């Protein structure tokens, strides 16, 4: 009887655990699905409205699907504006800033993680402290510096000032700390120099981390607005975040044209995440498991 009661109690407990686990998973999925709906519906409306004429965008009652795909918005975007040039400018700036940032930040993180040198800790604290400064604090001196260098209205002013972000240096250092020092010592014993160790030993082990940093840097560069607004006045050097507001007219707006431009502008960031999502998740999990 006692054994039977014990077995019954264990069965009830295991059933309760399964029910609670199932309930937790269900509630989590419902919350996540609701979040996806909240995020995806405005984006879906943007894409579908870009395929509608102006009169249909403001029709009542509101319709989700266009009665007939209206591709004239996209045609006018490429024939009546400098959209292709603006798109190319943004790709050049975002890609260049990402590549340069990955190089400089991983080098800095490598130095802070694996080398001992004078004032190492104060320098690292100083680097992290710069991350806490609002951009508005350094806006004026940064503008004066770039103006003195003659970089206003050039690609340089959009790329170089943000090529060594303090947060990316911190991320690089944290990931490189996990790289076994024994691998570096073995490479040195084989006659490898420090550049060889960095590029052939350390970097190949940082692929998930590089994916995380690439997405963060590229997304920030692609969505940058305030700094280009201040330092770029030449229409031929506009990036997309400057170009899209310029499509608004003084007496009226062609919302289909603006929505078409915004739809195309969102593609690179989405595609980058799609291609790097596996490495991105691995990088986040690796960072979460560090002690």
- Reported as a single tens digit per residue, the pLDDT across 69-108 is 888 889 988 888 899 999 999 999 999 999 999 999 999 9
Which homologous superfamily is 72-289 in?
MetI-like (1.10.3720.10)
Mean per-residue pLDDT over the chain, rounded: 85
- pLDDT of 4 over the 60 cut: no
- pLDDT on residue 289: 46
* The predicted structure's pLDDT at residue 137: 87
pLDDT in tens, 16-71: 777 788 888 888 888 988 888 888 888 888 888 888 888 888 877 877 788 888 88
- How crowded is residue 151: how many other Cβ atoms within 10 Å of its Cβ? 17
Q: What is the pLDDT of residues 98-133, one digit of tens each?
A: 999 999 999 999 999 998 888 889 999 998 888 888
User: Which is nearest to 244 in space by CA: 32, 99, 81, 73?
Assistant: 81
The domain ranges of the chain are 2-49, 72-289
With 60 as the cut, is the pLDDT of residue 166 above it?
yes
Whether omega before 276 lies within 30 degrees of 0, making that bond cis, reads no
Whether 195 and 122 have beta carbons less than 8 Å apart is answered as no
pLDDT range class, residue 256, cuts 50, 70, 90:
confident
User: What is the band of 2 on the pLDDT scale with cuts at 50, 70, 90?
Assistant: very low
Percentage of residues in the chain with pLDDT exceeding 90?
A: 29
Smallest CA-to-CA distance from 230 within 158, 173, 289, 168 is with 158
- Decide which of 277 and 27 is more confident: 27
Q: Are 241 and 228 in contact (CB under 8 A)?
A: yes
pLDDT of 281 above 80: no
- CB-based contacts of 283: which residues, under 8 Å, 6+ apart? 175, 208, 209, 210, 211, 212
Alpha-carbon distance of 88 to 65, in angstroms, equals 30
């Amino acid at each position: 009887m006692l054994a039977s009661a014990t077995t019954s109690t264990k069965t009830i407990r295991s059933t309760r655990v399964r029910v609670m686990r199932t309930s937790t998973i269900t509630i989590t999925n419902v919350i996540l699905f609701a979040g996806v709906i909240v995020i995806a519906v405005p984006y879906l409306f943007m894409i579908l409205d870009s395929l509608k004429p102006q009169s249909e965008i403001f029709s009542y009652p509101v319709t989700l699907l266009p009665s007939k795909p209206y591709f004239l918005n996209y045609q006018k975007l490429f024939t009546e504006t400098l959209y292709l040039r603006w798109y190319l400018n943004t790709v050049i700036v975002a890609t260049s800033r990402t590549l340069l940032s990955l190089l400089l930040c991983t080098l800095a993180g490598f130095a802070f993680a694996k080398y001992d040198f004078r004032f190492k800790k104060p320098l690292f604290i100083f680097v992290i402290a710069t991350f806490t400064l609002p951009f508005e604090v350094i806006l004026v001196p940064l503008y004066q510096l770039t103006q003195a260098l003659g970089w206003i209205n050039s690609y340089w002013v959009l790329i170089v000032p943000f090529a060594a972000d303090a947060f990316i240096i911190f991320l690089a250092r944290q990931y490189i700390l996990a790289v076994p020092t024994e691998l570096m010592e073995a490479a040195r014993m084989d006659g490898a120099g420090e550049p060889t160790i960095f590029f052939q030993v350390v970097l190949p082990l940082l692929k998930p981390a590089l994916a995380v940093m690439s997405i963060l840097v590229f997304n920030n560069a692609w969505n940058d607005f305030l700094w280009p607004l201040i330092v770029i006045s030449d229409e031929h050097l506009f990036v997309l975040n400057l170009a899209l507001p310029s499509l608004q007219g003084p007496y009226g707006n062609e919302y289909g044209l603006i929505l078409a431009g915004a739809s195309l502008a969102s593609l690179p960031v989405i595609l980058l995440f799609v291609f790097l999502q596996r490495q991105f998740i691995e990088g986040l999990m690796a960072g979460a498991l560090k002690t």
